[in-house]
Structure 1
């Protein structure tokens, strides 16, 4: 069933907190992050044809191969991202029926957040497929846990459901921000060596920034919709944040 997006003017955004300014599953492996060197082809020309002009210098500095540590970081990061976005989709799927029955005005808001999470999930599905990254073996466990968390917080009420979103997006936003920071460090290091980050990593950096900002928009929405009025707020959000951190740690390794 297609869910319509909420018009942008209908979403009130509160001032964002000041974050660091660093601000499906099989085909080519991580070496495809590196631009493939193309051999120049010798074209046969007519005897009297003028020599061809040399190609213009490239505007982008050459890239360099990823180290094993960098490949391992990207594999782990994208596996976690894909699992996290699956969990987000399942949380919103479970929360929406009870929430919208009790509060019909939340229907477009829930649709908006669901559609963005579904888009994020599709992005990371494609990246795992392209780079032959194994999804986490914890898929069944996280699926059940996310569904239970969504239903449970929705049944506790609107404030608890929004507190769940606030807690999850706080952890996920910070996780994406850390990945952005690492890629920017790689770019700075390569720049000092006269090399570039490479087209695919530049694209990934932009994708991570966009998704991070959309996750933080969900955090803003949750706070605007009385997340902090949930009872017991501190206990609920601390437990959810702790669960998110534990899930990230396990997914990075399993």
Structure 2
């Protein structure tokens, strides 16, 4: 007679060969790159605006929070043996340039930059959470917490006049597209 018993749930694999699985090293690499880029964007904005504008304290506060996110992802990369993106020097220069350029246009354009990037990062983190499922609860909790912070940054930028920036729809769309490109490149390189 055939044995029809099944393995206890705890012994059954959570996934089977062929199932889609989250590429956690790629996630960590791109998330660390994104937080690094954010610190560079805010550095560029503050280099232009300094403390002279009413939005400067908000930018400085968001920059400090992004630095905390970056430090956390730096620690995760080291702990899990994942290398950072090889594009980090490029993200340093382009992030700073984007921040400075938008701040030179106007403080509202600097806020439009933040709104566009944070909307894209919100979508990116949402996709990552769906891909992770229940595979890595500590990483999922980190991403969820950071996603809430990024949403708060977006809301701060909108409240500070992002949508009043000259050419907002074009600026917003171009920055989001650039952000998507940076995400895709940082996953792979």
Q: TM-score range by the shorter chain?
A: 0.7 to 0.9
Give 3-state SS (helix, strand or coil) of 2:21's partner.
helix
Q: Report the TM-score, using the length of structure 2 for normalisation.
A: 0.87
Name the larger-Rg structure. 1
| Equivalent pair of 1:100/1:106 in contact (CA under 8 Å) | no
Partners of 1:92 and 1:236 lie apart in 2 by 17
Q: Report the TM-score, using the length of structure 1 for normalisation.
A: 0.65
Q: Aligned ranges for residues 68-217 of structure 1 at < 5 Å?
A: 70=21, 73-103=23-53, 105-184=54-133, 187=134, 197=135, 201-217=136-152
| Equivalent pair of 1:92/1:114 in contact (CA under 8 Å) | yes
Instruction: Kindly indicate whether structure 1 or structure 2 has the higher relative contact order, using CA contacts under 8 Å at least 6 residues apart.
Output: 1
Gaps of 5+ in 2: 1-9
Higher share of residues assigned helix: 2
Q: What whole-Å deviation, never above 9, does each CA across 1:128-177 have from its counterpart, x for those lacking one?
A: 11111121111111111101001000111111000000011011111011
Partners of 1:62 and 1:227 lie apart in 2 by 52
Q: How many residues align?
A: 178
CA RMSD of aligned residues (A): 2.0
Gaps of 5+ in 1: 1-60, 188-196
Give, in angstroms, the shift of residue 65 of structure 1.
Answer: 7.8
Aligned to 2:3: none
Q: What whole-Å deviation, never above 9, does each CA across 1:181-238 have from its counterpart, x for those lacking one?
A: 1222xx3xxxxxxxxx4xxx21111111000000010000000011011111111111
